[in-house]
Structure 1
């Protein structure tokens, strides 16, 4: 597969953000069961009394980051049309048997299937978020595993994301003709697209079409948005103009401290973000101490004592 030549093609998945119903249960599952690293412990910039937890590889590279807004006791949601309906992680070839054994030991039910010639394990997190593990050789510039334990079997980053839609045409026009994704396969109602930077994690994007699927019911266990990579803020401004030229309602640039963001909804209702690769998660913590301390954006530093007092415990009951 040849790389896309359009310099404005999205370079891959940057991060995916979902909703959880308990910060402590969320932290325990993603660092304990999935053995990801907590790379940033901060707060929701629009709701500072709620955690925003970031999990990924040892340095939090784009393409490895799954983040959560853990709203305590939020009602369960239901994935549906207009949402990311599954998040798939890549693991090294030969690692799926290890993960089957590991999930069994952790008493987590799972199913096994095949898709586009790849073996897939499907399960959910404690709050119902659909997750998948897919055996895939490491991308060419990613020879390090994502977690220290069991390096030969560790999660490497994203393999793909799946969105569920009622119809295809308008979304396909956006992701293929505007965002530069390339169609690379179809199995029944599932369409697969590839993105630009074939050296990195998170290069695949699947669209499943079900005209009768009910709309997503937001809540615990659903994805809030999916972010795609752009190289820098200058390119991001070009994206903003390009998307607006195609009739999309795009936000102003928002400073998320670790990246800059713009947001818009694609025609099927999924909330998309385009996020810059820099500055990254080491802007306020050394690599060896990522995720250790609570980091707040500057506007909330005067409220640090109050915020810390009201944030829920990260220790499981």
Structure 2
């Protein structure tokens, strides 16, 4: 039993209108779901993805009015997005700089061409050449980014821990990820980044763990990451993961129905929040695919409260 890759990543924004403009107009991703945090209905939960919200393409944000993250370890420190080919990276380098976004330039990292940068709130991002690997996304025909250069989905997610041993035990002994290689930390070459892969491997199915003992403990906030979710293909395997966590004594949320997918949550030993999420039912379960993300949608259990919930939300566009 293995995860098949990264399902989605959820981060925090305190400036959600600016966030919406950046990810749709600069990054060219489609807003495929305009909903609320199901545990805090005062906050938007926005999902950016390919044209249809394919599993593995979702970068999502909670709209929380909180101070900026104080960076540190015990956290996810960079989110990678995939594009195909050096020409795409060169296009993005010029495009981002033209939009006023500073980049570090294209360089090779872990054997792949990579372009690192940050969003307007300091969310650490990177684009990586995936060589066409991973499930093919559905291009968005209204994106300002040409189809051949559009973001193809999530790539490796980088997390920071001060010490590897206990995290490694969970990754290999609980989630069945495989350690496959190491490379020098680009921010401090004295440190090492350990690469774990899942499923068939590839840039869409990797978790990179940077061992950074010199860093303080993170203080979560805007511009930081809340959690990363891993893909499980169906209900049968989802239930099996729940049984596995319980049998191994891993504290977890129990099964949670998010309506668009099913979830399980648990923390690895250094406190990073992991989610296991099913590929389906998907975002078109309650919206026409042609109008995804254009209006606020709520899961059925929140519909009776729609008027009060929507009244508490500010327009984002």
TM-score of the two chains, using structure 2 as the length reference: 0.92
Q: Point out where structure 1 has 5 or more consecutive residues left out of the alignment.
A: 1-7
Counterpart of 1:195?
A: 198
Alpha-carbon offset, residue 198 of structure 1: 4.5
Alpha-carbon offset, residue 145 of structure 1: 4.0
Q: Distance in 1 between matches of 2:201 and 2:29?
A: 23
Q: Distance in 2 between matches of 1:239 and 1:106?
A: 43
Q: Work out whether residues 7 and 279 of structure 2, in 8 Å CA contact, stay in contact via their aligned partners in 1.
A: yes
Provide the aligned C-alpha RMSD in A.
1.6
Q: Work out whether residues 37 and 55 of structure 1, in 8 Å CA contact, stay in contact via their aligned partners in 2.
A: yes
Q: Distance in 2 between matches of 1:31 and 1:202?
A: 21
Counterpart of 1:4?
A: none
1:11 matches 2:4: yes
Larger deviation, residues 255-264 vs 228-237: 228-237
Cα 1:144/1:304, change in 2 over 3 Å: closer
Q: Structure 2 matches for 1:245-256, cutoff 5 A?
A: 245-256=247-258
Q: Point out where structure 2 has 5 or more consecutive residues left out of the alignment.
A: 185-191
1:220 matches 2:222: yes
Larger deviation, residues 142-151 vs 42-51: 142-151
Alpha-carbon offset, residue 143 of structure 1: 6.3
Counterpart of 1:89?
A: 81
Aligned pair partner of 1:79 in 44, 49, 71 = 71
Q: Structure 2 matches for 1:55-204, cutoff 5 A?
A: 55-72=48-65, 74-93=66-85, 94-112=87-105, 113-139=107-133, 141-142=135-136, 144-145=138-139, 148=143, 149-188=145-184, 189-198=192-201, 202-204=204-206
1:311 matches 2:313: yes
Q: Structure 2 matches for 1:251-270, cutoff 5 A?
A: 251-270=253-272
Q: Distance in 2 between matches of 1:293 and 1:312?
A: 12
Cα 1:253/1:140, change in 2 over 3 Å: closer
Q: Structure 2 matches for 1:281-296, cutoff 5 A?
A: 281-296=283-298
SS at match of 1:152: helix
What per-residue deviation string (whole Å, max 9, x for no partner) do you get for residues 224-259 of structure 1? 011111122221121112122222101111111101
